[in-house]
Structure 1
Amino acid sequence: MRHRHASLIVMLFGYRHARALVSDSSRMAAKIAIVGGGISGSCAAAALASEAEVTVFDQGRRGPGGRASHRSVRASDKQIIEDDVSLSHNTKSTYEFDHGCQFFRADSEEMKRIVSQWRERVWVAPWEGSFGFLPAGKSDAFDFFGIASESSPVYIALGGMHQLPRRLLQSSRAAVEKGTRVCQIKRKDNQWELFGATGNQAYHDTNEATTDLASLGVYDAVVLTDISSASGDWHRASAGIPDELFQHLPKKVRMPLFSCMIAFEKVCRVCLCSSLSMTPLTGCLLHEAYSPFDSTRCLWFSSDGPECWTLISTPSYALQEITQDRETGAFKPQQNDYLNTVPGPTLFNAFLQTVQSFLTEQPNVVYMQAQRWGSGLPVAEELCDDIHHVAGDRFAAKLNKPLVHEVTDSGRDFVADDDLRLYYAGDFCSNRCPGFEAAALSGFHVAAHIKDKFVEKG
C-alpha cells in the first residue's frame, strides 16, 4: 500500500510541565534502557525521553518498527531499500508492503484521544477502503484482525506502518541503537548492565552463532518490550530477562504467522473485482474452502501503481513450518532459499485456489517474498483450542473465538518491580485485544508509572 509522507512534528504526550529526574535512593536516576523499538518501546520512549536519558535498543535489521514493519522494494532490481532512505524515494518505481501490522484500531477512549493527536500531526489517517469476504457472502470465518466497520474505524500510518514508531522516536530525544540484540541483563550495584551483540550475530534471521557479548552500558532502569525477551537464546530475539521479573510475567500463548509479500502486474485486482461486480477491494478475508489450512487469510493490496498484496497465513500452518528440529525447537533461519521455496509459494497457491474461479486470467507475479512472525500475537489461553509446546514456549495452532473482543476491565497492562527498577510492557501484558492499541497503551502506561514513582514532584 502507498501513502504520502508526512513531515516530522514534535509530539508531546500528556505531561505539560517538564520535571527533572534526580539521582538519590528514592527517585529515578536519569539513565533508562528500553529493549525493543517497536510499538510499545517507541511509545514509552516518547513519553520518557524529555525527562530522562533514554536509550532504545532495537534488533531490527533495517531499524525500529517491530511488528509495525514496512518494506520498500525497488522494482528495477528487487532490492530492499533501507528504511531510513525510503522517505524520499519515488513510490512509482517501488513495491510497498506493510507486512506485519497493516492497520490499527482505536477502541478505547484513551486511544481515540492519542490517535486524534497523531492525526493533527499528520502521522496517521483513517483507512477508508472497501472490505469484503471471498467467496462473496461467506462471512462465518473469524475476522480476528478486526477489519473496519462504521462503528470501529481503523487507521494507517502515513508512509507505511513503520513510520509511526520512528516518528515517535525521532520527535523525542531518545538515542536509538539499531541492529543490537540484548542477550543478558546483570545487576551491577544498584544498576543494570546490559550485554548484547551487533552485526550479523544480532539478527534473528541468520544462523550465525553469538560469540563474545559486549557491554551495552549501565542503566538505572530497564524497560523490556520485546515479546521474546523471556525466551532462551534459541529464539535469537532479545533475551536475558532476569529471573526476578520473569516469574511475574503473564503466561500467554504465542500465535505464529507467516506473511507473503506479492506484487502483481495491474491485472489481478481488475479481473477479480470485475468478476464480482464490486468496488476495487483494499482488503478482504478469504474463506479457505479449497485450502488445506482450516481458518481465514487476510489480504491487503494497493489501489494504485503496482499491485502489492500481503498474504497472512493461518496459525496452524505457521506452527507446522516454524521449527526445523522438533527435538530442539530450533527455528529455521529466515533465509530466502527456504522462505521463497516453501511458505511463500504455499500461501500463493492457496490464494489462487480460493480465488481462481473469480479470475478471468492468471495474475502475473513480479515479486514474492515470505516472512515469518514466530510470535505474531500473544493470545489468552481461553481463546485457544489447540496449544503446542515448542522449545519451552506455548504456541496456538487454532482459535475458538475472534481475537477482537470487548474489554470490560483493562487493569494494569505492564509488569513493574519498582525496587529493582525492572519493567515489562507490551500487548502480552494486557487483557485488551492483542495488537497495536494494546501495545501502544502499555508503553504509555509504563512510562507514566515510572514518572509517577520516581520523578520529582513540583
Structure 2
Amino acid sequence: MHIAVVGAGLSGLTVVRQLQSQGHHVTVYEKSAGVSGRMSTRQTELGGFDHGAQYFTASSDRFKKEINDWKKLGWVAPWEEKLVSLDHGQSKPAGKSATRYVATPGMNALGKQLAHGLDVRKEQQIVGLEAHGNQWLLKVQADTVAIAASAGPFDAVLLAIPADQAAPLLGEFPAFAVEATKSIMLPCWTLMLGFQTSLELPYGGAWVNQSRLSWIARDNSKPLRRSGERWIAQASPAWSIEHLEEDPERAKEKLLKAFHEATGSWIQPIHAVVHRWRFAQSEHPLPFDFLWDVNRKVGVCGDWFAAGLEGGGRVENAFLSAVALAKTIG
C-alpha cells in the first residue's frame, strides 16, 4: 500500500520504518522544520539544549531489545548522572529507577537517525483528510503556498501526532475523535539557561517539589554533550496550565526566579530562553495500543496510548503504539 503518515516524532518514524520493512511505500508529512517531535534539541552558540523529552526508560522486552540495537549503533547511551529530589533548596537522593537513556549527541539525534532514507516532507501541515473513492487525499498547508494543496491519493493514512492535533483531522471518524478528546494533553513551559561558570551543583538532574518547576537538568551532564554549563528547567503542569498564555518574557522571569530558589544558586545566566509546549504529555492515556479502522484504513498512534504500560506520555509508549499499529496493518 501507499501510506501517508502525519507526524515525524518517534512514533511516526517508528511506524514508517516498520511499515517499509513490511513492503509498504510511505510518505511522511511533518509541520515543523525538523524531525523528532518532542524529543527535541535546540542548538545555540553555547551548545545544545534538550528542551523536550529529557531521557527514556524501558520496561517492556520489545523496547529493551530496540534500545540494545540503538546502543550498538551508537545512537543512544545510558545517562548515569546523580539525580536528586529538591524541596525548598534541600536535596534528597532520588529513588532507584530503571536505567535512563539519552540519544547522542542530543535527544533529537535519534529521530534524525530513524528518518535517514525516509521520504519526509517537512514544513507541510496536514489540515484535513478527504475521501477519494477507497483512498484518501490530504489537504496540505505550507508557508510557501497561499492555499491548502492536495496530496495523494493514499491507500491508508496514519496520524502520529498529539491527541489535540489529531482530533480535528478525524471528522469522518467521530468515534476516534471522541477518544482523542479524552486524552488530555498537558502543556509545559521550558526554560533554557546557559552560564559562564559552573554552578557546582552536586547533581545532574532533580525533581523539584513545592515550586513552579517540576524538573531541572544539567544538559552537559549527559554523555557526548558539548562542554559548558547548560541547564533545562521545566515548569509543573499546574503552573504551565495557569500561565499558558503568559508573555514569554514574564514566564522567563518567573521560572528563572524559581530556578534560583530551587538550586540555591544566584549566579545569573548569560543565556535565557523559554519554550512553550502546548501538548507536552498525556494526562489520561487511552487504554489501547492504537486506533485503526480496518475498512477505511485510517489509524492513530502515539505516546497518548497506554500500549500495555502503566501511564502514558513516555517514549516507550510512542514506540510500542507505533509497532503495534504497523503489525496490525501487516
Matched, 1:192 2:68: no
1:368 counterpart = 2:275: no
Q: Which amino acid aligns with 1:65?
A: S
Match of 1:230? 166
Q: Deviations over 1:410-442 (max 9, x none)?
A: 974101101000000012122533211101111
Question: Among 17, 37, 57, which residue is 1:66 paired with?
Answer: 37
CA distance in 1, matches of 2:139, 2:304: 24
Shift of 1:195: 0.6
2:255 aligned partner, one-letter code: L
Question: Aligned-residue CA RMSD in angstroms?
Answer: 2.3
Distance 1:364 1:349 in 2: 10
Residue 365 of structure 1 aligns to a residue in which SS? coil
Alignment partner for residue 296 of structure 1, among 214, 219, 228? 214
Counterpart for residue 83 of structure 1: none
User: Which residue of the partner structure matches residue 104 of structure 1?
Assistant: 56
SS in 1 for 2:279: strand
Aligned residue runs from structure 1 range 38-187, under 5 A: 38-50=9-21, 51-61=23-33, 63-74=34-45, 94-134=46-86, 135-138=89-92, 149=96, 151-170=97-116, 173-187=117-131
CA distance in 2, matches of 1:300, 1:446: 36
Name the residue aligned to 1:351: 259
Displacement of 1:350 in angstroms is: 1.0
Residue deviations 1:18-40 (CA, integer Å, cap 9, x gap) = xxxxxxxxxxxx21000000010
In 2, the alpha carbon distance for the partners of 1:220 and 1:316 equals 42
Q: Work out whether residues 42 and 166 of structure 1, in 8 Å CA contact, stay in contact via their aligned partners in 2.
A: no
Separation of aligned partners in 2, 1:425 and 1:148: 31
Distance 1:178 1:117 in 2: 27
- What do residues 111-156 of structure 1 show as CA deviations (whole Å, max 9, x unaligned)? 11111111111111111111112233557xxxxxxx783x511100
After TM superposition, the score normalised by the length of structure 1 is: 0.65
Equivalents in 2 of 1:437, 1:200: separation in Å? Answer: 35
Report the 3-state secondary structure (helix = DSSP H, G, I; strand = E; otherwise coil) of the residue aligned with 1:111: helix
Unaligned stretches of 5+ residues in structure 1? 1-29, 75-93, 140-146, 202-210, 232-238, 274-279, 325-337, 382-409, 452-458
Amino acid at match of 1:300: R
Give CA-to-partner distance per residue, 1:349-389, whole Å, 9 cap, x none. Answer: 11112333xx4xx31311111111111101228xxxxxxxx
- Return the letter of the residue paired with 2:166: A
Partner residue of 1:438? Answer: 317
Question: Aligned in 2, Cα 1:411/1:314: closer, same or farther, shift over 3 Å?
Answer: closer
**Cross-structure match for 1:285:** 207
**Distance (whole Å) between structure 1 residues aligned to residue 283 and residue 228 of structure 2:** 35
Cα distance, 1:241 vs structure 2: 2.4
Report % sequence identity: 26
Give the whole-Å Cα distance in 2 for the aligned partners of 1:430 and 1:194.
28
Residue 186 of structure 2 aligns with which residue? 255
Letter in 1 for 2:315: F
TM-score w.r.t. length of structure 2: 0.89
Work out the CA distance in 2 between the residues paired with 1:137 and 1:70.
27
Residues of 2 paired with 1:96 and 1:366: CA distance? 15
How far apart are 1:296 and its partner, in Å? 2.9
Change (3 A) 1:103 1:214: same
After superposition, the C-alpha distances for 1:166-207 in whole angstroms (9 at most, x for unaligned) are 21121xx43000111100100001100001211278xxxxxx
Deviation at 1:264, TM superposition (A): 0.8
| Number of the residue aligned with 2:7 | 36
The Cα shift of 1:300 comes to 3.3
SS where residue 259 of structure 1 aligns?
strand
The AA in structure 2 aligned to 1:322 is L
Report the equivalent of 2:169. 240
Asked if 1:311 corresponds to 2:282, the answer is no
Which residue does 1:9 correspond to in 2?
Answer: none
The count of residues paired between Structure 1 and Structure 2 equals 317
Contact 2:84–2:92, Cα closer than 8 Å, also in 1: no
